[in-house]
Each structure stands twice: as C-alpha cells, then as structure tokens.
A and B are shown apart, each in its own frame.
Chain A
Amino acid sequence: MDRRVIGVETEFGITHTGGTHRGLPPDEVARYLFRPVLRWGRSSNVFIPNASRLYLDVGSHPEYATAECDDLLDLIASDRAGELIMHDLAQRAEAAMAQDGFDGSIYLVKNNVDSQGNSYGSHENYLIPRTTHFRRLSTILLPFLVTRQIMVGAGRLVPATDETPAHYAFSQRADHMWEGISSATTRSRPIINTRDEPHSDAAVHRRLHVIVGDSNMSETTSLLRYGATDLVLRMVESGVPVGDFELENPIGAIRHISHDITGQAVVKIRNGGQQTAVEIQARLLDRARRFVRENGAHHDRVDAIFELWERTLQAVASGEHAPIERDIDWAIKKRLLTDVAERGGLPMGHPKLEQLDMAYHDVHPTRGVFNLLAARGRASTQLEPERIQRAIVDPPATTRAALRGRFLSTARAVGAEHTVDWVHHKLVDRPLDALMLKDPLSAEDPRVDTLLGRLGERVASLREQSLQERRAQELPLALSERYKLEQPRELAEPPLI
C-alpha cells in the first residue's frame, strides 16, 4: 500500500509518591486523572477533538490511542501529543488531590514494565489489504519483529535474579511475549495479535495488530520503528522474494537477543543455520533498499529511515554505540546509565540506576529524563514543538480522523447529543441518519456535511478557535472546544417559543 493507515496505542504506567501520606494506589490516581475527562464526555472512554481515543484500560492504565495517520510524522506528533495530554491531566489531578489532602507527585511513565515485572503495552496497528497472504506475512514479519528490538527497543536495566546478574537488555517487552501469533492479549501475549477488527471495510482491509513493541520516547527511534515496519509490509504485500528467516523458536529467540547487548546472540533458522539479529536485519535492509530502487520511494523519509537502519546495525555489530547515542532509545538510555554509574561508582542494578531507567520514560516535560536529555541536545528530535502542540488539538488532516474530529467538535459546539467511534458517527436525535465511515484513508465525505447540515443554520456560524483561545479555556487543552458559536450580528426574527 502506498498510503497506509497506522496508529499506536500507548498504556502508561502511573504512580504517586511523596507528600505526607503514602502515595495513593494507581487505580485511585487514575480516577483523579480522568475526572476532567468524565466531566467532559460523561465517560472514561472518549474520542477527543484531535480524533484520538483517551481511556482507562484494563488494570487502571491510562491509555491513549492515536487517530488514524497516513504520515509517519503525523503519527509521531500524535503519539507525542498523547504524552503532553497525559501530563496536563496529571497536573490537574495533582491539584485536585492536594485539595483533598493528598499532596505529592504523580508520575506518568511511558514504559512497559514495573518493578515487579508486570507489563503493559505499546500496540501498533497497520492497515493491510485483505488479500495479503497471512502465512507469507507471518513468515517474513515475525523474524523482522523478533530482531527489530536491536534498533528500536527502549532498553531496560534487568534486575538480578538467582540465575543472572543485573544487566542491560535491548527490550522492555521481550520477556513478556509468550507466543508468535494468536488472538489473545492479556492471557498470553503474542507478538502479532490476530484480533481482526479492521475498523474499516473488512472485505478490503485487515488490521495488523503488533503488540511486541516497546514504548519509544525518541521521535527518531519512532521514525525507524514505524518506517521500517511499513517498508517490510510493503515488500510482503508486493509479493517480491524477501528471503527465508523463519525462526525455529521465535519466543526463545526474542529473549535471547534482548539479553545480549553485544548483539552477538545467534538464533536458529528453521531451514537450517544460525544468524545474529544484525545479520537478519541487514538482509532485510538490503532487500528493502532494492525494493525501493525498483519501485520508488513512497514518502520523503525513506532515505532517512535507511540511513538510521544501517547506522544502528553497524553500531550494534561493532559494539561501538556512540554513533546512535542521540537517536536510538536503548542507546541513549544506556549512555546515561553508564555516565551515572561511572560518576557515582554505582554497581549495575543499583536502585538509583533502576530509578533512572524508569525516570527516562516520565512524560513530565521538565522532570522526565528523556526530555531533559532532549532539551540539552543529547537526544535528537524530528518535530518542532509547535507541531506537537497542534497535534494535541488538531486531527490528522489526511485521513478519516479529520472527519471524526470535525463531526464531534461541531456537534459539541451546537449542543447536539452524539456518539462516535472509529467508524460510527451518530446524532442521537437522528438515529436513522447514523453514518458508517468505512474508508480510513478518506478525509472527505459529503454525507458528513449533509448530516452536520441537519443541525441547522447555527453550524454555518461556527468559528474555529485559535490555539491561544483554546489554551484560555478552563478545560485541558486536548478537550477544549474547537468551534465557537458566533452571535449573529442582528437577530432577524425574535425566536418563536
């Protein structure tokens, strides 16, 4: 697919510390966190004006699912906006809790493991054609996903156990995957989840649900993660030969690779032989380059993705990580932990280092350690801060998200009861006119204009508010009203009562 819809769902860890009391448990903090959401949408599971979804998930995890994006930078901007939205909610929750006598600090942590080894996810969704041969897909995609962690893993300081000393691993999630492919998520976590809810025309599309990824802090790492995966999917869809890397034991392999930061771990290929993750990725990179030479680049970041892909593989293969220490999450974090350990003479596994491992993922703009590194130029970025701010309020302009955003903000502005989800758009007073928008790649649909037209002339007098006006509203910015009803200059007729 030349244009592909991609979305990512992030579950955040949440904790509360300090103050005069013991911190509140996560479910209570989450309740405070979602108070403004509940007030705004009468539910803790809502679609918000930027067309993303904000909700409390299983286990009291605050979760943010980006709207449909067909542009990698839109996707990264929406995901980063999710961090800022959570931060905004956290600040309000802190204030509300303080009023109730619970002072202290809320931490929202965009990582995937807590201190007891509970895991929560970062789920990627890729729209693929229904015609994609699933066996071919899994044969190519599984080895790619198992080895992808050496490029886009978020890194983890693994505490000591009876068998192994504390050490640094590529991935947060690798130890929490139990199957290659299945339909479960909480019971047994598969790398690829076959739950097939395309949120589109099921005759045409399938939704590929990948749950093996780590939550990324780095925009650069994110670009490589989604960009490389999309390129591999393109090759799968086109039918070109991609080589045979099918692994004998994907789950054994994913752990084995994660725990050997030297990148020398070898894994068994089903058809015989052994390879390192670097070797498998290097061959996929080579194929992808050839594919793009022959078929052309489908967006303007392809060269940047190839350059990052290659540079990261070289860094892992050589053990010389300096060239990726600003760009790749696991390497950025490892550099920091190394510096702190050296300066303080701390042994691996010291609580201070474990704390830093978590604090790296703190979404707080001036407390989160990744954000501190980025502010000092020790971590690269891809987006202007203004673009991320806009993504808090603006839906992506080129997909169905634009329609959902306009629909829900318009209905709110005129006070019309409505319901929306990924596909459905309904005005409660006009149930027979409910719309199903089944093409996630379409940002225009006259039926939406017709339906909104039914709300009367007031719709024509709506004015879009500026970012500044929206910031001035009392609501969290992400929930601020997009449109304002302009008072008509003169009332033609007194209203009939």
Chain B
Amino acid sequence: MSTQPQKRPQGGNDDGGAPEAAATAGANAQAQKRAGELDSLLDEIDSVLESNAEEFVKGFVQKGGE
C-alpha cells in the first residue's frame, strides 16, 4: 500500500527447522487467528460501505470552506 515496500513480521512463512516446529505451530495458529479477525473486520467494513465505490467518491464534492 505504501510507496515503499513494508516489512511486516508474519508468522508461519518460513519452513523452520525441527527445534522450532512447536514455536512455528504456535505462531501459525496465532497468525491464523489474526487473519481470521482481519477477514471478519474487512467483511464488516465491506458490508457498510456504499457498494459503488467510484460513484461515492465522485459524488463527494464540497465547496471550499474555511
């Protein structure tokens, strides 16, 4: 989304050696939970936004204020 690629810590993307397997599984579960929460949030937002985004944006025109 930003002009620069963002580094984001994300559990579960590495293959992880055997000793880290348990930790990775835990991180995986957490990441999955977070992803689920995010999905549900984005679904909720989708459900309240006007369905025609372009029309909404174009229609949002004000006179200058101050």
Give the B-binding residues of A (Cβ under 8 A). Answer: 11, 13-15, 17-18, 23, 26-27, 57-61, 63, 105, 107, 109, 114-116, 118-121, 123, 167-168, 185-186, 189, 211, 260-262, 319-322, 334, 337-343, 348, 350-356, 358-359, 366-367, 369, 372-373, 376, 378
Contacts and interface: CB of A to CB of B under 8 A. Distances in A.
B59 interface: yes
Interface residues of B, number: 32
Given A23-B59, A343-B39, A355-B50, 9 more contacts: A61-B62, A168-B3, A211-B66, A261-B2, A262-B3, A348-B1, A350-B53, A353-B1, A355-B53
B3 to A, nearest CB: 5
Interface string B28-45: 000000000111011011
Contact of B1 (A115, A119, A120, A168): A168
B64 A341 contact: no
Contact of A369 (B7, B45, B50, B59): B45
Nearest to B8: A322
Contacts, number: 134
A11 B65 contact: yes
Given A60-B63, A61-B62, A358 B45 contact: no
Given A352-B53, A372-B45, A372-B48, A121 B2 contact: no
B61 A58 contact: no
Contact of A372 (B6, B41, B56, B63): B41
A337 B41 contact: no
A189 B64 CA distance: 11
A334 B65 contact: no
| Binding site secondary structure of chain A | mixed
B57 A358 contact: yes
A338 B6 contact: yes
Nearest to B38: A339
B23 to A, nearest CB: 20
Contact of A351 (B44, B53, B63, B66): B53
A119 B65 contact: yes
Given A114-B60, A119-B65, A337-B1, A321 B53 contact: no
A355 B64 contact: no
A59 B3 contact: no
Contacts of B59: 15, 17, 23, 115
Contacts of B64: 58-59, 118-120, 186
A164 B41 CA distance: 32
Contacts of B38: 339, 343
A322 to B, nearest CB: 7
A115 B61 contact: yes
26 contacts: A13-B60, A13-B62, A15-B60, A17-B56, A18-B50, A23-B59, A26-B61, A58-B63, A58-B65, A59-B63, A61-B62, A61-B63, A61-B65, A105-B50, A114-B61, A115-B57, A115-B58, A115-B59, A121-B65, A261-B3, A334-B2, A337-B1, A354-B57, A355-B50, A358-B60, A376-B41
B13 interface: no
A368 to B, nearest CB: 9
B49 interface: yes
Contacts of B37: 376
